[in-house]
Amino acid sequence: MKPLFLIIITFLISPFIMAQNKKPTAIKIPKELVALKQKRIDNYYWMNQRDSTDVLDYIDQENKYCESYFEPLNPLVEKLMAEFDRKIDPNEEGAPFYFNKKLYQVKNEKGLEYQKTFLKEGEKEILFFDQNERAKGNEYYDLADWEPSPDNKFLAVAEDFVGRRKNTISIRNNRNGKYLKDRIEDSNGDIIWSNDNKAIYYIKKDEQTLRSFQVYRHILGRKSSDDELIYQEDDEKFSVSFYKSKTEKYIFIASYSSMTSEILWLDARDYRAEVNVFLPRKFDHIYEVDHHENGFYILSNLEAENNKILFTRSFPKSIFQCEVFQETNEKILIEDIEIFKEFLVITERINGLKKMKLYPFESRKEKYIEFNEETYYLGLGVNDDYHTNTLFYSYNSLTTPSSIFKYDMMSGEQTLWHQKKVLDPTFSSDNYESQRIWATANDGTQVPISIVYKKGTKLSEAPCLLYGYGSYGYTIPDYFSATRLSLLDRGFVFATAHIRGGKYMGEEWYQNGKFLKKINTFTDFINAAEYMGHMGFCDPNKIYANGGSAGGLLMGAVSNMAPYLWKGVVSQVPFVDVLTTMLDESIPLTTSEFEEWGNPAEEEYYYYLLKYSPYDNIKKM
């Protein structure tokens, strides 16, 4: 697969590349599709047979044509790869992190394909887990998760050896390095230990839809065929995950769809514990819960569009028995809470930017950690210790490399714990400029755009790569990229349009970009591009659009709606055959997608999806 940067360069020089190459032509086999008594003809429906020789042969032709088309760029490929190598440390080290009172660090080593994890004891480092050794003899390998037992005597690892996200769980005796006979197949990769070290919990997927829906308990030393199914989610719109409370007293099972959630709990100290419902599910109520020794803190959207925080000293019979700890605010989205013995850390999003608020339980005098850049990414680090007053958080921006800070919640003192290296000696954050600008959407809404460029770039003449996503309430972070520097150093502007469908500006921002308001996502992106060109933030004739997955749907839609606007479009793993896909419930996870796009079995959604589905709206040139 060609690097994104090369694809962009190709658009610049494409008239001069391989004009004589003959493009493959797919045969047309008309297929009549009928839904709600409406007929559509799909000439390429036959391509959904992924094991068909005809389909595989055609894909092979396309791949060969692509390789031939890009062949003149091979010298540039080599030049850029060498350039990337000069920026990225082949011996890159991750930030050290504490888990189970132990300090670990993950490292890469030049020449090795997989990472190694080390246990740090003072000045001494001990090789704890080597993925390279585990990968030997396998065509594919991926480490999904590893979890030391509470007493650190055992290590449970979930590994994928086939590439289908079907993970095998194995258990290692840390004292002698040997693996037990225990072996669990086809898990989703998540693992939790019971506090007594006698059992692990894991999740299985539905074989057809790949939905995580079953939670099992495995007793060490027993056959996996004897494992106990402790919870099964039968509603196909819901999936399950789990986590251990910060106090490590409870295991919480989260059953969730995109619009509703339900939390169940069991005692983490007892490997025979039964599962109980914390609060029963109610449509359109999403909540999360964690435990403090004084009670439970609940993040809930019930009658609170941007969420509120509730508190209860014991297991509630009703959510209305809970106290309001922090009320909802239409201008502040409460995204997350992190519990410590002495502090509650609340992650908020205000005017699009993340903030971290500290609430000391004793003094109750809340304060924010301050950040000065105009736009940035902020997130919680690994904070495993309930009793500590040290907070680890991650920070980076479009100009600042990824960093982990160590923050003393008592004194307010903070230190840089770890920063990702950019090896290029010419790199300096001071050589680049980032800012946030605001475009006006068709309905007057102000749409934020984060941009970055090299200082000295003449913006009105600069090409621009505009990125977008805008679905599932996911907010695209403004993160640092070492390889992106190669684009900026060649005079590009890089921009992210924070369009509706994400939650950059809160829950309402998401709701106004889904279901029967989805087209706002596409017009916001178009308006962002037009604004940048019109206001001189880039050359309006050199705008390139990029998005992947649901962002690939965005690319397809804006290509149809505003083909005149784009110098080029890079659509990665795009979701473009929206209507046909959503009508086929046999496709994995389709039913859960109804809560994002709507169910086209209902007439209003059928016609709305038909209106923007990229595959159904290609115009003849």
Task: List, for residues 107-159, the tens digit of each pLDDT value.
Answer: 999 999 999 999 999 999 999 999 999 999 999 999 999 999 999 999 999 99
Question: Which pLDDT band holds residue 16 (cuts at 50, 70, 90)?
Answer: very low
Q: What is the pLDDT of residues 375-384, one digit of tens each?
A: 999 999 999 9
Q: What is the pLDDT of residues 56-101, one digit of tens each?
A: 999 999 999 999 999 999 999 999 999 998 898 999 999 999 999 9
DSSP 475: P
Question: Which residues lie closer than 8 Å to 398 by C-beta, 6 or more apart?
Answer: 375, 376, 432, 434, 450, 451, 452, 478, 479, 480, 494
Q: Report how far residue 472's alpha carbon sits from residue 592's, in angstroms, rounded to the nearest whole number.
A: 12
Q: Is the pLDDT of residue 15 over 50?
A: no
Q: Report how far residue 482's alpha carbon sits from residue 193's, in angstroms, rounded to the nearest whole number.
A: 38
Encoded tokens for 462: 């600069």
Q: Is the pLDDT of residue 621 over 80?
A: no
Question: Which residues lie closer than 8 Å to 448 by C-beta, 6 or more apart?
Answer: 352, 436, 437, 438, 498, 504, 505
Q: Report how far residue 358's alpha carbon sits from residue 346's, in angstroms, rounded to the nearest whole number.
A: 6
**Do 465 and 437 meet the contact criterion of CB atoms below 8 Å apart?**
no
**Do 503 and 509 meet the contact criterion of CB atoms below 8 Å apart?**
yes
Q: What is the pLDDT of residue 589?
A: 76
- What one-character-per-residue DSSP string does 38-70 give? EEEEETTGGGG-TT-HHHHHHHHHHHHHHHHHH
- Which residue from 545, 550, 540 is spatially nearest to 514, judged by alpha carbons? 550
Q: Is the pLDDT of residue 506 over 60?
A: yes
List beta partners, residue 572: 548
Question: Which pLDDT band holds residue 3 (cuts at 50, 70, 90)?
Answer: low
Helix (H) or strand (E) holding 357: strand 353-360
pTM of the full structure: 0.92
Q: What is the pLDDT of residue 587?
A: 82
Q: What is the pLDDT of residues 296-343, one digit of tens each?
A: 999 999 999 999 999 999 999 999 999 999 999 999 999 999 999 999
Q: What is the pLDDT of residue 591?
A: 86
Q: In whole angstroms, what separates CA 327 from the centre of its chain? A: 28
Q: What is the pLDDT of residue 7?
A: 55
Angle at 439 between CA 434 and CA 445, to 5 degrees: 130
Q: What is the pLDDT of residues 183-223, one digit of tens each?
A: 999 999 999 999 999 999 999 999 888 899 999 999 999 99
Q: What is the pLDDT of residue 619?
A: 87
**Do 429 and 454 meet the contact criterion of CB atoms below 8 Å apart?**
no
Question: Which pLDDT band holds residue 12 (cuts at 50, 70, 90)?
Answer: low
Q: Report how far residue 475's alpha carbon sits from residue 512's, in angstroms, rounded to the nearest whole number.
A: 14
Q: Please, is 391 exposed, middle or buried when counting C-beta atoms within 10 Å of its C-beta (0-12, 13-18, 19+)? A: buried
- Which residue from 179, 252, 255, 185 is spatially nearest to 213, judged by alpha carbons? 255
Q: What is the pLDDT of residue 21?
A: 64
Q: Which residue has the tokens 């389709």?
A: 590
Encoded tokens for 263: 């939390």
Q: What is the pLDDT of residue 50?
A: 86
Q: Is the pLDDT of residue 5 over 60?
A: no
The mean predicted confidence, pLDDT, of the chain is 95
Q: What is the pLDDT of residues 398-448, one digit of tens each?
A: 999 999 999 999 999 999 999 999 998 899 999 999 999 999 999 999 999
Q: What is the pLDDT of residue 254?
A: 99
- Which residue from 45, 2, 70, 4 is spatially nearest to 548, judged by alpha carbons? 4
Q: What is the pLDDT of residue 4?
A: 60
Q: What is the pLDDT of residues 17-62, one digit of tens each?
A: 444 468 999 999 999 999 999 999 999 999 999 899 999 999 999 9
Percent of the chain at pLDDT > 90 equals: 92
Helix (H) or strand (E) holding 593: helix 590-597
**Do 113 and 90 meet the contact criterion of CB atoms below 8 Å apart?**
no
Compute the radius of gyration of the chain from its Cα atoms.
26
Encoded tokens for 147: 């979890």
Q: Report how far residue 282's alpha carbon sits from residue 268's, in angstroms, rounded to the nearest whole number.
A: 26
In order of start, what are the domains of the chain with their CATH numbers? 1-87 (no CATH), 91-370 (2.130.10.120)
Question: Which pLDDT band holds residue 11 (cuts at 50, 70, 90)?
Answer: low
Q: Report how far residue 442's alpha carbon sits from residue 348's, in angstroms, rounded to the nearest whole number.
A: 28
Q: Report how far residue 275's alpha carbon sits from residue 474's, in angstroms, rounded to the nearest whole number.
A: 31
- Rounded-to-5 percentages of helix, strand, coil across the chain: 20, 35, 40
Percent of the chain at pLDDT > 70 equals: 96
Q: What is the pLDDT of residues 585-617, one digit of tens each?
A: 888 778 889 999 999 999 999 999 999 999 999
Question: Which residues lie closer than 8 Å to 194 by C-beta, 6 or more apart?
Answer: 200, 201, 217, 251, 268, 269, 270, 271, 273
Encoded tokens for 320: 């209305």
Q: What is the pLDDT of residue 409?
A: 98
